[in-house]
Amino acid sequence: MSAVRFFVPENRLGKLLRIPGGAPVADAVVAAEAGLAELEAPAREELAAALAAVEACAAQRPAQFEAAGLEELYGLAQGAIGLASLCQRPSVDEALRSLCDLLDHLARCERWDAEAVSVHVRSLRLLMGEAGAKDGEAAAAVLQGLRRVSGRYAGTPGG
């Protein structure tokens, strides 16, 4: 009968963390924040272009349900998620997610609600301004309203 042997691999990360040296955490955080600050201006430009594309696509949608157009709008909105956080506008990311939720609900029930989409699109610009800068009560109220709008279709039969 053979004996049972246990093999425990070396934890290289743990070993590296125990070795003294490297930058102190506070310095690393400051350097990371500086790096993110450099990305803010280009991200703001890219986000503005993405929001303009969302607005243009939403404005071109016909009054009735059209799956291909809805998918295009969804792709544009979904692709912009994440940019707003680099611009210190996380409320814009939440509004984009709410728009995607609305579009998903509309696709499942094969309906189109131009007014609900328009409310979301107009709110994106509002949140890019002062209302979204502080992410205070104004932004929270806008986001709560958007969740209510998209929530109307969440329980729709067929959706």
**For the chain, how are helix, strand and coil distributed in percent, rounded to 5?**
70, 0, 30
| Average pLDDT of the chain to the nearest whole number | 86
CATH no. of 41-151? 1.20.120.160
Q: Evaluate if residue 66 carries a pLDDT over 70.
A: yes
Task: Choose the weakest-confidence range: 45-59, 109-123, 125-139.
Answer: 125-139
3-state secondary structure 36-60: HHHHHHHHHHHHHHHHHHHHHHHHH
144 vs 155, residue with greater confidence? 144
d(CA 51, CA 77): 8
| pLDDT value of position 97 | 95
For position 138, what pLDDT does the model report?
85
Closest CA to 156 of 103, 115, 108, 114: 108
As a whole number, mean pLDDT of residues 73-98 equals 92
Evaluate if residue 130 carries a pLDDT over 70: no
Q: What confidence score (pLDDT) does residue 18 get? A: 78
**pLDDT tops 50 at residue 159:** no
The pTM of the full predicted model, rounded to 2 decimals, is 0.76
Report the range out of 59-63, 86-90, 126-130 with the highest average pLDDT: 59-63
- The predicted structure's pLDDT at residue 153: 83
Nearest CA among 47, 78, 45, 72 for reference residue 58? 72
- Over range 139-147, report the average pLDDT: 92
Residue 3 phi, psi (nearest 5): -85, 150
Residue 53 or 24, more confident: 53
CB 129 within 8 A of CB 93: no
pLDDT for residue 110 is more than 90: yes
CB 86 within 8 A of CB 36: yes
Read off the amino acid at residue 83: L
Domain-wise residue ranges, the chain: 41-151
- Quickly state the pLDDT bin for 158 (edges 50, 70, 90): very low
**Is the C-alpha dihedral spanning 34, 35, 36, 38 positive or negative?**
positive
The widest CA-to-CA distance across the chain, in whole angstroms, is 78
Instruction: Quote the Cα angle for 86-35-82, to 5°.
Output: 20
Q: Shortest CA distance to 114 belongs to which of 73, 147, 151?
A: 73
